[in-house]
Structure 1
Amino acid sequence: MSIEVKIPPMGESISSGILAKWHVAHGDVVKKDQVLFELETDKITSEGTAEAAGKISLAVAAGTEVKIGAVVATIDTSVTGDAAAAASPSVALAKEGAPAAAKSDAQSPAVRRLAAETGIDPASVAGTGKAGRVTKGDMLAAAESTAPAAPAAPAPKPAAAPAPAAPAAPVSRGEKQTRVKMTKLRQTIANRLVAAQHNAAMLTTFNEADMSAVMGLRAKYQDDFVKKHGVKLGFMSFFVKAVVNALKEVPGINAQIDGDHIIQNHYYDIGVAVSTDKGLMVPVIRDCDKKSMAEIEKDIADAAKRARDGKITLADLEGGVFTITNGGIFGSLLATPIINAPQSAILGMHAIKERPIALNGQVVIRPMMYLALSYDHRLVDGKESVTFLVAVKNALEDPARLVLGA
């Protein structure tokens, strides 16, 4: 009996994707729920799994664009693992020794590197290592024996003028470049960022926050927090709570433009930007006004892990009213983040640096962070943006405000 492996539905707005990678080979025996492939869409990267165990036959090559519901493979459920192993040519070759393949597999990294640098095929070199293996020394000796002898240096001619240097042979551009097709996710990120700049009157206002109080609380309560909640107390939960506090103070920022209407949001679902190998994703943490800092930290850690593992869903990325992005983890000192449309604003965090500041008439060294708020000036006025950012700054410098709601 054979069953079809189909591209699963991903959401109403997704009709196709790129079958980016197969995790199995044609003819492999797979287990039920084993990951078979990765599918890249314009919003997320997801995995397809086997509905049953059996021998798989691939029908679509990696890199192919496929429609939702398309059949990309079949699984013969009548083939067991033992039967497939007996019939598999690769297993038979392994039992017979498969000299060429074994020799290739046994090559050390040094031998493979020298093969790439010199162009010498290790298979053509007599190996002196154990079981006839080609060693690094064998490759060096082969390279030496094939190298042309250096010409004898001519006798010096005092009166002769130095000959002009010969022009260097042109190097093919193809040797210096690699061309790969943009993933659907990267194309969508690019299009959305350009659209945000074209469609919004984007402006950025800056401030700075003394992070002493937050760092002091983390140092004082970190061990107890981890023991009780099983997760570290990070900076992000403070920022999420500070943003919620500021959105309540300046509700005009918790809104968005829809044509000639303004939609006012009365909930606090905050997006937290996460960098992944596939690109930037913004999973949304729901109901941040109702959650404790421990719950927010757990939700952020879970969302970030699923995003990096390619297990994020479309529902996880939708519905945010505001976004926080942290370039500081990469060392950014100051930047102007781009709005995550259709939201009206985004907060950029940056690296914490010890700097001298004036405090009560004295110059002191404090851990300071620059804050950047980019906002849509069509909806948010300068007074609102500055008031919002000052509210975030005040909450971070005096975290008691987050507890008291002041």
Structure 2
Amino acid sequence: MSTEVRVPTLGESVTEATVATWFKKPGDAVEADEMLCELETDKVTVEVPAPAAGRMGEIVAAEGETVGVNALLATIEEGAGASGGGKEDDGDGKTVSSAGGKPTKAGEQPESGGNVDVMVPTLGESVTEATVSTWFKKVGDDVSQDEMLCELETDKVSVEVPAPAAGTITEILAKEGDTVQADGRLAVLSGAADGAVEPSTRETPKEEDDAPAEPAAERKGEDAPAAKKAMAEAGLSPGQVVGSGRDGRIMKEDVSKALAAGKSAASPGAESAPAAPAETPRAPAPAEDAAREERVKMTRLRQTIARRLKESQNTAAMLTTYNEVDMSAVMALRSQYKEEFAKKHGVKLGFMSFFTKACCHALNEVPEVNAEIDGTDVVYKNFVHMGIATGTPTGLVVPVIRDADSMSFAAIEKAIAEKGARARDGKLSMAEMQGGTFTISNGGVYGSLMSSPILNPPQSGILGMHKIQERPVVVDGEIVIRPMMYLALSYDHRIVDGKGAVTFLVRVKDALEDPRRLLMDL
């Protein structure tokens, strides 16, 4: 009897990979979960474990070949050391029971009548958990392979979860609003390898699954990291919160419920400490108003935005300086070359490339604005990874253009257009939003005339752009009408002095009012 080794789910929007290295060759003995090969995508490296013990059979995809999701990589001939039929889930989501007696990995097509787990896909670098936001299917629904089953929300992006195989949904393990860990189980499918849907043979969840969670003292699972942090901030112990997760595991929502209900007394060491403002329940609304209110749970993205902005205010000595810039020269240059620029480079010439180039120019002269504090050290960046704040239907995200200081106008415009579209579609990866050294935020697109942007930690500077508005100004002793824009630079006064901040903003102003300075490095 042989077991197929197939390409696992590679992550959001990733459909193929290259076989980089085989660690085994035909005839080699392998143990269950032993690494067989390594696949490379354009974002990550994926290790493929053995779904069962036995001996390596045929290697179908050789090193260097490109393979798609669920493609056959190799076979394993099951020997005496192979797993027996009907192996139960070991709890880590790697094998599930199979009617055919074969363990089935998430993302691998099951044999006829087998069950397969729907697993949480790769969420991105340093992301360990997500919230189930929407289920598109329910128990008993038939699904085809790669059909969207549900959507997860992380701190930054939304992740769609496709069906790893055709079949019928027999059980949903993580409901909407539940927090799930990376590589956790979401649901169970029952189906056939040829895509034909077979009747579910899995039993209905037992009644005790819906019973109240065990007291915190008797729970077996480890509490969610977010719940541990919330309990620490609120001064609660695990024994004061009833967990609703699997095996009594405490979730972040359980901590919020305990605080809102007022049933948990503060721990002895925190009796005199005031409650955190974010966790303090608001006063109940009058009955006539409550009926007209709508309560909607904050998305994980909105919670993260709120937390990071408050952290920025609490940790940085933030100060803002202002100036104004005459946009006549940039607008004239853009008007003169925009058609030729678009024809040659295939992208429109906008204002953001001018501001990006001007900021890179100024950062070279005032390097402390491009630095960050690490403990008692100041880390100066000899490069510019420019963050471009982008508004999306779900909140503000900041995709990063790496090495913007070495890019041309056309390259910057293409990068901004591509990342802006991916941000609006919720397709940005975590890697694309990390590592920024400076940020530009354009509130002018929404009509903002003046504002003070908040720092994006651990960065030390952020430039706020605003609406271009014609105003009377004095030029050479005469009052003239010019398109003017207010600029705002918020900076961390711990490492950026007022002189450096004003110098930076003046250099940006000079470069925009005379773009030739950018070409001559003046």
TM-score, normalised via structure 2 length: 0.59
| Paired residue type of 1:48 | V
Match in the other structure for 1:93: none
1:44 and 2:157 equivalent? yes
Q: 1:58 to 1:275 in 2, by over 3 A?
A: farther
User: Which is higher, the Rg of structure 1 or of structure 2?
Assistant: 1
From 366, 376, 383, the counterpart of 2:482: 366
Q: How many angstroms apart in 2 are the aligned matches of 1:2 and 1:64? A: 23
RCO comparison, higher one (Cα < 8 Å, 6+): 1
Q: How many residues align?
A: 322
Determine if the alignment matches structure 1 residue 301 to structure 2 residue 301: no
Give the Cα separation in 1 of the matches to 2:196 and 2:157. 37
Hey, what's the Cα distance between the residues in 2 that align with 1:318 and 1:333? 29
Identify which range, 364-373 or 187-196, moves more after superposition.
187-196
| 2:496 alignment counterpart | 380
Map residues 316-331 of structure 1 onto 2, 5 A cutoff. Answer: 316-331=432-447
Higher helix share: 1
Give, in whole Å, the separation in 2 of the partners of 1:225 and 1:344.
Answer: 34
Residue 6 in structure 1 maps to residue 119 in structure 2: yes
Determine what percentage of the aligned residue pairs are the same residue.
Answer: 53
- CA drift of 1:252 comes to 1.5
Report the CA distance shift for 1:180/1:246 in structure 2 as closer, same or farther (over 3 A).
Answer: same
**For the Cα contact (< 8 Å) 1:29–1:81, is it kept in 2?**
no
Structure 1: distance between partners of 2:462 and 2:515: 21
Q: Could you tell me which residue of structure 2 aligns to residue 76 of structure 1?
A: 190
> Residue 190 of structure 1: CA displacement?
0.8
Amino acid at match of 1:37: C
Cα separation, 2, equivalents of 1:221 and 1:48: 44
Per-residue CA distance 1:33-61 (angstroms, 9 max, x = gap): 33332211223322222333333345132
Q: Answer yes or no: is the 8 Å Cα contact 2:384–2:405 preserved in 1.
A: yes
Distance 1:57 1:362, change over 3 A: farther
Q: Quick one: which of 46, 63, 88 aligns to 2:177?
A: 63
Rounded Cα–Cα distance in structure 1 between residues aligned with 2:135 and 2:433: 25
Equivalent positions of 1:4-403 (< 5 A) are 4-59=117-172, 60-78=174-192, 172-403=288-519
Task: Output one character per residue of 1:245-295: Cα deviation in whole Å (capped at 9) or x when no partner.
Answer: 000111121111111110011111000001112211001001111111111
State the secondary structure of the residue aligned to 1:196.
Answer: helix
Determine if contact 1:19/1:40 at 8 Å carries over to the other structure: yes
Letter of the 1:38 counterpart: E
Describe the shift of the 1:301–1:53 C-alpha distance in structure 2 as closer, same or farther (beyond 3 A): farther
Alpha carbons 2:167, 2:196 under 8 Å: kept:
no
Question: Which residue type is aligned with residue 190 of structure 2?
Answer: D
CA distance in 2 between partners of 1:5 and 1:190 (Å): 32
Matched residue type, 1:203: L
Distance between the aligned counterparts of 2:469 and 2:412, measured in 1? 25
Partner SS for 1:289: helix
Query: Structure 2: which amino acid aligns with 1:13?
Result: S
How far does residue 333 in structure 1 lie from its aligned partner after superposition?
0.1
Q: What value does the CA root-mean-square deviation take over the aligned residues?
A: 1.9
Deviation at 1:187, TM superposition (A): 1.3
CA distance in 2 between partners of 1:57 and 1:379 (Å): 58
**Distance in 1 separating the partners of 2:344 and 2:143:** 41
CA separation of 1:207/1:58 partners in 2, compared to 1, >3 Å: closer, same or farther? Answer: farther
Deviation at 1:81, TM superposition (A): 7.1
Name the aligned partner's letter for residue 405 of structure 2. D
Distance 1:18 1:171 in 2: 32
Query: Aligned partner of 1:305: which letter?
Result: A
Q: Where in structure 2 are there 5+ consecutive unaligned residues?
A: 1-113, 200-285
| CA shift for structure 1 position 401 | 1.6
CA contact (8 A) 1:46 1:312 kept: no
Distance 1:50 1:66 in 2: 17
Counterpart-to-counterpart distance in 2, 1:273 and 1:27: 42
Distance 2:167 2:339 in 1: 49
Tell me the CA shift for residue 80 of structure 1: 7.0
Q: Provide the C-alpha distance between the structure 1 equivalents of 2:303 and 2:500, rounded to a whole number of angstroms.
A: 33
CA deviations 1:214-254 (Å, max 9, x no partner) are 11122111111212222111111111111100001111211
Q: Which amino acid aligns with 1:61?
A: K
1:29 CA displacement: 3.7
